[in-house]
Amino acid sequence: MTVAAAPADGDRLAFIGRIRTPWTDRRDCPRQGSTDGPECRLIVDDVWIPALAGLDDYATIEVLYWLDRARRDLVTQSPRGDGTVYGTFALRSPVRPNPIGTSIVRLDRIERGILTVRGLDCLDGTPLLDIKPDRALFIPKAPPKSGV
């Protein structure tokens, strides 16, 4: 089953839905999500709802999202503001050249394209990029390849 055309091409992202969280100000977002945290919802666009088939086999899933309000030009950062400087790639800050958040979240339920999860840390309204089974739980469906 395909969509009518690839949703985007080249190096352009395709938003597949939106994330609803309790946080509307960046200062309120947790520094890292916790599976003990509040319920959040992934609202998947209608065209991608059939792509969720089988996902409810997984208690935890990986979620990718686009931190669209983060600046992208910092090579080094001082998160404490005390002069201690870290490279951007040594941090999990939203500020990075490609502001893609990745979280492992607990999947509580899926109802009509809405996933209820716990463990996110992003602002309400954040664009959704991808959903995958937790790599720690996933067993490839296709047969093994020779030599690998």
Interface with a second copy in residues 77-96 (CB under 8 A): 79-81, 84-92, 96
Closest separation between CB of residue 5 and a second copy, Å?
7
43 binds a second copy (CB under 8 A): no
Distance set, CA 53 to CA 47, 57, 109, 127 (Å): 13, 9, 13, 21
Closest separation between CB of residue 94 and a second copy, Å?
11
Residue 94's identity, in one-letter code, is P
The site that binds a second copy (CB under 8 A) totals a number of residues, namely 75
Nearer to a second copy, 20 or 75 (CB): 75
112 binds a second copy (CB under 8 A): no
Q: Look at residues 19, 28, 18, 52 and name the one whose alpha carbon lies nearest to residue 120.
A: 19
Q: Residue 33 corresponds to which tokens in the numbers above?
A: 């999500």
123 binds a second copy (CB under 8 A): no
CA–CA distance, 63 with 121 (Å, rounded to integer): 11
By CB under 8 A, what part of segment 23-42 binds a second copy? 27-32
CA–CA distance, 59 with 3 (Å, rounded to integer): 28
Q: Look at residues 119, 92, 110 and name the one whose alpha carbon lies nearest to residue 17.
A: 110
Select the residue interacting with a second copy from 97, 108, 109, 125 (CB under 8 A). Answer: 97
* Three-state SS at 51: helix
By CB under 8 A, what part of segment 52-81 binds a second copy? 52-55, 57-58, 62, 64, 66, 71-76, 79-81
Nearer to a second copy, 2 or 112 (CB): 2
